[in-house]
Amino acid sequence: MLKAVILGSGAAIPTKERGLSSVGLRFAGRVYLFDCGEGTQRQMMRFGMSFAKVDSIFVSHSHADHIVGIAGLAQTLDLSGRREPLRIFCPKGAAGDVEALLSIGKYGYPAVVSEIGEGAVLEGNGFSVKAFQVAHSRPSLGFVFEEEGRRNFDEKKCAALGIKGRMFGELEAKGEIRVGGKTVKYESVSTAKRGAKFAYSGDCVPGKGTVAAARGAHVLVHEATYASDKEEEAREHLHSTAAQAAAVAKKAGAGRLVLTHISGRYKTPELHLLDARKVFPETVAAEDGMELVF
Ligand SMILES: [Zn+2]
Ligand SMILES: [Zn+2]
């Protein structure tokens, strides 16, 4: 199970309602941050996400509204006595900007900045993170966080075959057991269950790469800086409109679309939702503090 909290849903300039870009993902007691705009640490405090549990930060690109929060968060982690490394992953060419932010402070733990390309980024206990390329005005990546799939026992089948107690563990470990004079295979008494899949676009124009990477995602958090009234502007600044984000979600067969990075020019996301839901009904507009459990 994954829990995502929208920590900042605004674009470029914060507003009273919207902080700058960040999504916190909680998995197995750890927190993974996707972008870390200015004020992210305070948003974490407001919305009950422990900054002490931050494991890694995935940076989509080095525009200020996505990275400035790293400086303050890194300092707070030091003052809170962190000793374990903080891993920061960013696109090629972005490490210098992240390191410049980190150079403001001193830390009693290693802050390790790595430039990455498309593909596998991190393999952890029960999850993996992959990056995919997106088109924006500087080198940019989107990310996919996927929980490992698992198998669930079919209780009826197991009971009928007389499988009980320790036999379950043995079946899982060995792949088969002998019971009642028969060999029973693990696959024949269990069903596969996909792990939860989360996709994050960062800033980008709509692209095939996002469609492919977000295929079957339970939740796709896609930027939608503009609505249909500013399509020209979206193209010019290499951003997406809500309808374009919805088309990506539809092609990817996503479960839910969350529109984020919403320009402060919109007082409400009404037009975004109207545009997007025509294409992809399972759309919501991000709000700071919004929680998604999947
Ligand atoms: Zn941005
Ligand atoms: Zn940007």
Which of 103, 24, 21 has the alpha carbon at shortest distance from 62?
21
- Tell me, in angstroms, the distance from the centre of ligand 2 to residue 37's CA: 11
Ligand 2 is an ion; residues with CB less than 5 A from it: 63, 203
Q: How sure is the predictor about 48, in pLDDT bands with cuts at 50, 70 and 90?
A: very high
Structural domains in the chain, CATH included, are 3-149+194-293 (3.60.15.10), 151-191 (no CATH)
Backbone φ and ψ for 226, nearest 5 degrees, come out as -125, 165
% of the chain exceeding 70 in pLDDT = 100
Q: Which residues are catalytic?
A: 65
- Tell me, in angstroms, the distance from the centre of ligand 2 to residue 188's CA: 49
Averaged over 185-193, what is the pLDDT? 93
- Tell me, in angstroms, the distance from the centre of ligand 2 to residue 144's CA: 19
What lies within 8 Å, CB to CB, of 170 at 6+ separation is: 177
Please tell me the distance from the alpha carbon of residue 178 to that of residue 53, in angstroms, as a whole number: 44
Please name every residue paired with 244 in a beta bridge, in sequence order, or none if there are none. none
Count of Cβ atoms closer than 10 Å to residue 94 Cβ = 25
- Tell me, in angstroms, the distance from the centre of ligand 1 to residue 122's CA: 24
Closest listed ligand to the CA of 94: 2
pLDDT computed for residue 4 by the predictor:
98
- Tell me, in angstroms, the distance from the centre of ligand 1 to residue 198's CA: 19
Ligand 1 is an ion; residues with CB less than 5 A from it: 63, 65, 203
Count of Cβ atoms closer than 10 Å to residue 27 Cβ = 21
Q: Is the dihedral of CA 42, 45, 47, 53 positive or negative?
A: positive
Max Cα–Cα distance, the chain, nearest Å? 72
Which of 69, 64, 81, 13 has the alpha carbon at shortest distance from 45?
69
pLDDT computed for residue 77 by the predictor:
97
Q: How sure is the predictor about 95, in pLDDT bands with cuts at 50, 70 and 90?
A: very high
